[in-house]
Amino acid sequence: MRRPLANVIVIGAQWGDEGKGKITDLLSKSADVVVRYQGGVNAGHTVVVEGQTFKLHLIPSGILYPDTECIIGSGTVIDPKVLIEELDQVEALGISTAKLMISQAAHVTMPYHRMIDKASEERRGSQKIGTTGRGIGPTYADKSERTGIRMIDLINPDRLKEQVHWTVNYKNVILEKLYNLSPLDAEAVVKEYLEYADRLRPHVIDASLNIYNAIQERRNILFEGAQGTLLDLDHGTYPYVTSSNPVAGGACVGTGIGPTMIDRVIGVAKAYTTRVGEGPFPTEAKDEVGELLGDRGAEFGTTTGRKRRCGWFDGVIGRYAVRINGMDCMAITKLDVLDELDEIKVCVAYDMEGERCEDFPSSSIQLAKCKPIYETLPGWQQSTVDCRTLEDLPKQALDYLRFLAELMNVPIAIVSLGASRDQTIVVEDPIHGPKRGLLYS
């Protein structure tokens, strides 16, 4: 019989940027395998270990542990140039990448994807989505259109040449006629990508089979997604979403395993809320509170450097994320950012055109009409950055966490109080610990 609580999914419970990289890194010490299941270089994880800052976009956070196997799953889209740059950066810091593997079924971001992404976003004008311009959407579009190039094609020179020539000729029509851009030289693209293939070929495997075998061997597996629940293509604030499925269900599709092989789902949420890009944001604080949260939380995107919009914690979103992901515990990050506030607001419901709404609306148009209904809690106005147990926390901070747990009806397993790995309170280990957590303590 398989050991219980071995296979855990880590998801973002808000609009991304919740601190999943730190939580994944923290849990990776108990994991034998860490798998990235969706997204591309539009995502970024920042991890601080012993004063060193690691900014990872494609490589799973588990790479920082020498004995941990890391896999980039088939649900991701890979820009090989960026991945190689990231490999070089990690290796320059003395970290081996020998245990990094890439699914042969993962799709490859090509030069025309980036060009179309930027040109399309510019053409949208007032209807822009807020894309990073890294070619992610067009790569996933080609995947759905069945014209994409996969890693297994990239490492096969004859297949790559055939596909690139056909696709570049097709895309050049779009680039020239629709966007008035210069055409690409197919041979130049082939030459560039063959060089990438030579570097990445040793890492390319049948990832689904590898993960399945690891499960049969009763190894601990951690599945990490990019972005967050509210950016999910099907369940997010469409159209202001990403082009893949960051929710827990996306882990099965993006890695090639069945849902019965998953033991737990842990969500990650900030102690407040942030959002990058366009779209409605009910609890956004466009005042000095928003500025304070942004300054104290260093709220700038890992990938783009864009300033994040900041606001109070949204419990409606939290409950929605719990439901959509089947979440059974949560990590709350950046609690220390709230240390200076004398009072803290939490959105418990929405006022939508005069009616109380406690469930998250599926329409962005409806969400834009929602006004937050707040409950106000007292702040603690003292530093929490050195707290390492629940008992170390000020009473008001502990009360705040309990309020969030009860509001979302989910136990809190981890509390993060800074960027460094050691600035953390682990109430329970979601991989090995009992299903208990703060809510039931």
- Residues carrying an active site annotation: 17, 45
CA 209 from chain centre, in angstroms, equals 24
- Give the Cβ contact number of residue 6 at 10 Å: 22
Angle at CA of residue 394, ends 17 and 16, nearest 5°:
5
Tokens of 440: 């039931």
d(CA 247, CA 133): 22
162 φ, ψ to 5°? -60, -45
CA 310 from chain centre, in angstroms, equals 18
Residue written as token pair 């949420």: 269
Helix (H) or strand (E) holding 168: helix 157-173
Q: Three-state SS for 115?
A: helix
d(CA 185, CA 169): 9
- Give the Cβ contact number of residue 294 at 10 Å: 18
Task: Specify which residues 350 forms β-bridges with.
Answer: 357, 372
Q: Which residues of 167-192 are buried (b: 16+ CB within 10 A; e: fewer)?
A: bbeebbebbeeeeebeebebeebbeb
- 3 state SS for 18-70: CCHHHHHHHHHCCCCEEEECCECCCCCEEEEECCEEEEECCCCHHHHCCCCEE
Tokens of 117: 């992404």
Tokens of 236: 């997010």
362 φ, ψ to 5°? -85, -10
